[in-house]
Chains A and B, each alone.
Chain A
Amino acid sequence: MNGPRSKAIALWGLVAFSLILLSFPTVIIIGASFTAGEIIQFPPEGFSLRWYEKLWQLDSFQDALLRTFYVSFICTLISLPVGTLAALATVRYRIRFRRTLQVYLLLPFTIPLVVSGLGMLIVFGEVRILGQLWPVGLALCIINLPFMIWAVSASVNGLDSELENAAANCGAAPVQIFFTVTLPAVMPGVITGALLMFILAFNEFLVSLFLVDSRIVTLPVQIYNSIRSVITPDLAAVSVVYILIAVIAVWVLDRLVGLEIFLRSK
């Protein structure tokens, strides 16, 4: 070992090793999904899209996918106003019990999902909304809301408090100030939070398991049910669909927020 050159080689080696290790499961799954054989294996046996074809033709998969989209949509829809306003209120205004409220809103994150799931099951059962799909979205919104609040809070913290005074000085009434100045200014956080909520709801398994039955099964639960019987390469194909959706989300985030942050930078 001598000089900065060998140090650079060692560092780059470490980075490359880490990257390979991190992407290993993903690469294997993607590879395995294109197999022409009957079992999941890596390297794949030949190349074909037959498992994607099979997946697409499977009604249960299509239905589960649509339901998952619906649940994620409901979850995101509820979290948008709730999370945004909660973040603005707890960061911005000197309201009473501010600290307590902040901790309370972050609480769902600290409770084991099994406990949350069981709790929701009991509550939803009591109010007779079990067996419907939208309560699943609501439940996922409740357990993941801290992420939305975190994302928006980061934007609110970076907000110049004088902007709202400036808007008032320009003649804007409080409601106008919110829609024309405050909301656009915290938009990067709102977009980040919304996409995060969507992806988290899309992937959520444990709480969903408590709340869905065979008629309204969502995709993560569907996958779980499948691996309990036979592991076939269509599971790998489902996983790739998941990866694809995650990649799309990151791309959207980069396009919307990356751009927005760039525009905001001084």
Chain B
Amino acid sequence: MVEICDVSKSFGDFRAVDDASLALPKGEFLTILGPSGCGKTTLLRMIAGFSKPDAGKILINGGEVENVPPHKRSIGMVFQRLALFPHMTAAQNVAYPLKMRGFDTKTIPDRVSEYLKLVRLQGYEERRPHQLSGGQQQRVAIARALSFSPDLLLLDEPLSALDKKLREEMQLEFRRIQQELGVTTINVTHDQREALVMSDKIIVMNAGRIQQSDSPEAVYRAPSNRFVANFVGLTALFGGAIERVDDEGVVVRVGELALRARAGEALTPGASVDCAIRAEQIRILADDEENDTGRFDNTVTGKVDQRIFEGDRMVYQVTVPKLADATLFVFDHDPTHHAERGQSGALKLAWNARDMLTFPTNP
């Protein structure tokens, strides 16, 4: 459906998109995830036709679109600032693409009400954008992008301006509509939760380059490099060196300790690596609890530097002197311990080898 081959785009000396390639089958929901300035919006705007790649090809439905102007592409787009036409009512906004694309005028009113129904906005036809709430404006923008049954739907961070509750509601709404219509969709966001919740497939971008292209679960559970591990989830990262590799995995030397980690890419003893461990994989052991049964592969003792209260949980930021002062993050979901832990300062932590990842350090 959509194919991007070795596309690059520079603005002056800044390489916004660097040799990006992807392929998206019909009907799938793809999210391009990355920090601001990573090139994800630039890539999206090239697909929409608002700018042209310096190098590489973009194919939609098997045809190259280099010389197809935006208004001749069958693409619906929901813009970051929505860009609803302020002088038109909700119904007129939704009817606009139908008129411009030469739909039979007799069928337009039916189509408009069909799509306003799809986004659950019946009864708001005659309102102008400023008379609608943020969520309702969002729905008009979705209806406008979809009313002419485009081959492809593009979402340019349309949810970033909404408050958390509404944003989460709209994430599910987008997913429902996308599955109902089966329209191929490319979404762009910096919100990892949004990417995980909505997508069939996630592409993680950084500094113009595609870092990983995988299912949401694979991106979360098996990040392909240090950047992805750090960007998705709350992850502690610290440097170490491979001590040995055996049948059960690898042993990494960090500071004074040797830790067991998941077997990763071909690693040779002595190679320096970045270790990554997610906050939710670390268990807190009671002070008198010994790891004598060998339930955990690694145990360390650290000092609580900071306690961050997040309502349903407490996040501790723990410094471990024996790990060359590495900083770990730990979740504490048990409110009965919140008061005492962190006051005492010391915390005993444990985790398993399969939850600790190693990536070769970038030269």
Instruction: Tell whether, in the assembled complex, residue B129 and residue A266 are in contact, meaning their CB atoms are under 8 Å apart.
Output: yes
Q: Which of A245-266 contact B (CB under 8 A)?
A: 263-266
* Cα of A160 to Cα of B87 in the assembled complex, Å: 13
* Minimum Cβ distance to chain B for residue A182 (Å): 11
Answer whether residue A163 sits at the interface, using C-beta atoms and an 8 A cutoff: yes
* Cα of A160 to Cα of B141 in the assembled complex, Å: 15
Answer whether residue A171 sits at the interface, using C-beta atoms and an 8 A cutoff: yes
Q: Which residues of A contact B48 (CB under 8 A)?
A: 165, 169
Closest to A172 in B: B100
Most chain-B Cβ atoms within 10 A of its Cβ — which of A168, A184, A187? A168
Q: Which of A163-208 contact B (CB under 8 A)?
A: 163, 165-173, 176, 180-181, 184-185, 187
Answer whether residue B176 sits at the interface, using C-beta atoms and an 8 A cutoff: no
Q: Which residues of A contact B115 (CB under 8 A)?
A: none
Could you mark each residue 81-109 of chain B with 1 if its beta carbon is under 8 Å from any beta carbon of chain A, else 0? 10111110000000011001100000000
Instruction: Tell whether, in the assembled complex, residue A162 and residue B76 are in contact, meaning their CB atoms are under 8 Å apart.
Output: no
Interface residues in A, total, Cβ within 8 A: 22
Answer whether residue B139 sits at the interface, using C-beta atoms and an 8 A cutoff: no
Q: Which residues of A contact B69 (CB under 8 A)?
A: 168
Q: Which of A209-266 contact B (CB under 8 A)?
A: 263-266
* Minimum Cβ distance to chain B for residue A94 (Å): 14
* Minimum Cβ distance to chain A for residue B113 (Å): 18
Q: Which residues of A contact B87 (CB under 8 A)?
A: 184-185, 187, 263-264
Q: Which of A130-178 contact B (CB under 8 A)?
A: 160, 162-163, 165-173, 176
Instruction: Tell whether, in the assembled complex, residue B130 and residue A160 are in contact, meaning their CB atoms are under 8 Å apart.
Output: no
Answer whether residue B231 sits at the interface, using C-beta atoms and an 8 A cutoff: no
Q: Which of B45-89 contact A (CB under 8 A)?
A: 48-50, 69-72, 75-77, 79-81, 83-87
Instruction: Tell whether, in the assembled complex, residue A170 and residue B100 are in contact, meaning their CB atoms are under 8 Å apart.
Output: yes
Instruction: Tell whether, in the assembled complex, residue B130 and residue A162 are in contact, meaning their CB atoms are under 8 Å apart.
Output: no
Q: Which residues of B contact A180 (CB under 8 A)?
A: 96, 100
Instruction: Tell whether, in the assembled complex, residue B70 and residue A265 are in contact, meaning their CB atoms are under 8 Å apart.
Output: no
Closest to B84 in A: A166
Instruction: Tell whether, in the assembled complex, residue A165 and residue B97 are in contact, meaning their CB atoms are under 8 Å apart.
Output: no
Instruction: Tell whether, in the assembled complex, residue A166 and residue B83 are in contact, meaning their CB atoms are under 8 Å apart.
Output: yes
Q: Which of A169, A172, A264 contacts B86 (CB 8 A)?
A: A264
Q: Which of B118-154 contact A (CB under 8 A)?
A: 128-130, 144-145, 148
Instruction: Tell whether, in the assembled complex, residue B71 and residue A166 are in contact, meaning their CB atoms are under 8 Å apart.
Output: no
A264-B87, A266-B129 are contacts. A170–B81 as well, Cβ < 8 Å?
no
* Minimum Cβ distance to chain B for residue A101 (Å): 24
Q: Which residues of B contact A265 (CB under 8 A)?
A: 130
A171-B100, A173-B71 are contacts. A263–B85 as well, Cβ < 8 Å?
no
Instruction: Tell whether, in the assembled complex, residue B50 and residue A165 are in contact, meaning their CB atoms are under 8 Å apart.
Output: yes
Instruction: Tell whether, in the assembled complex, residue A162 and residue B97 are in contact, meaning their CB atoms are under 8 Å apart.
Output: no
Instruction: Tell whether, in the assembled complex, residue B81 and residue A162 are in contact, meaning their CB atoms are under 8 Å apart.
Output: yes
Q: Which residues of B contact A168 (CB under 8 A)?
A: 49-50, 69-71
* Minimum Cβ distance to chain B for residue A186 (Å): 11
Interface size range of chain B in the complex: 20 to 34
* Minimum Cβ distance to chain A for residue B14 (Å): 18
Instruction: Tell whether, in the assembled complex, residue B130 and residue A172 are in contact, meaning their CB atoms are under 8 Å apart.
Output: no
* Cα of A184 to Cα of B128 in the assembled complex, Å: 14
Q: Which residues of A contact B101 (CB under 8 A)?
A: 170-171
A171-B100, A171-B148, A173-B71 are contacts. A165–B128 as well, Cβ < 8 Å?
no
Instruction: Tell whether, in the assembled complex, residue A166 and residue B100 are in contact, meaning their CB atoms are under 8 Å apart.
Output: no
Instruction: Tell whether, in the assembled complex, residue B79 and residue A162 are in contact, meaning their CB atoms are under 8 Å apart.
Output: yes
Instruction: Tell whether, in the assembled complex, residue A169 and residue B130 are in contact, meaning their CB atoms are under 8 Å apart.
Output: no
Instruction: Tell whether, in the assembled complex, residue A169 and residue B75 are in contact, meaning their CB atoms are under 8 Å apart.
Output: yes
Q: Which of A165, A176, A187 contacts B83 (CB 8 A)?
A: A165
Instruction: Tell whether, in the assembled complex, residue B79 and residue A166 are in contact, meaning their CB atoms are under 8 Å apart.
Output: yes
* Cα of A181 to Cα of B96 in the assembled complex, Å: 10
* Minimum Cβ distance to chain B for residue A177 (Å): 8
A166-B85, A176-B100, A181-B85 are contacts. A171–B71 as well, Cβ < 8 Å?
yes
Closest to A173 in B: B71
Q: Which residues of A contact B75 (CB under 8 A)?
A: 169
Instruction: Tell whether, in the assembled complex, residue A169 and residue B81 are in contact, meaning their CB atoms are under 8 Å apart.
Output: no
* Cα of A190 to Cα of B287 in the assembled complex, Å: 75
Instruction: Tell whether, in the assembled complex, residue A170 and residue B86 are in contact, meaning their CB atoms are under 8 Å apart.
Output: no
Q: Which residues of B contact A266 (CB under 8 A)?
A: 86, 129-130
* Minimum Cβ distance to chain A for residue B124 (Å): 16
* Minimum Cβ distance to chain B for residue A185 (Å): 7
Instruction: Tell whether, in the assembled complex, residue B77 and residue A169 are in contact, meaning their CB atoms are under 8 Å apart.
Output: yes
Instruction: Tell whether, in the assembled complex, residue B97 and residue A171 are in contact, meaning their CB atoms are under 8 Å apart.
Output: yes
Q: Which residues of A contact B72 (CB under 8 A)?
A: 171
* Cα of A266 to Cα of B81 in the assembled complex, Å: 12
Q: Which residues of A contact B84 (CB under 8 A)?
A: 166
Closest to B69 in A: A168
Most chain-A Cβ atoms within 10 A of its Cβ — which of B50, B100, B148? B100
* Minimum Cβ distance to chain A for residue B55 (Å): 23
Instruction: Tell whether, in the assembled complex, residue B129 and residue A170 are in contact, meaning their CB atoms are under 8 Å apart.
Output: no
25 of the cross-chain contacts (CB-CB < 8 Å) are A163-B85, A165-B79, A165-B83, A166-B85, A167-B85, A168-B70, A168-B71, A169-B75, A169-B97, A170-B96, A170-B100, A170-B101, A170-B148, A171-B148, A172-B100, A173-B71, A176-B100, A180-B100, A181-B85, A184-B85, A184-B87, A185-B86, A185-B87, A187-B87, A264-B86
Q: 8 tightest CB-CB pairs across the interface, nearest first?
A: A170-B97, A166-B83, A171-B100, A171-B101, A162-B83, A168-B70, A172-B100, A184-B87
By a beta-carbon cutoff of 8 Å, the part of chain B in contact with chain A is 48-50, 69-72, 75-77, 79-81, 83-87, 96-97, 100-101, 128-130, 144-145, 148
- For the A-B complex with A167-B85, A171-B97, A187-B87 known, give 11 more contacts whose Cβ atoms are closer than 8 Å: A167-B100, A168-B50, A168-B70, A169-B145, A171-B72, A171-B148, A173-B71, A176-B100, A180-B100, A185-B85, A264-B130
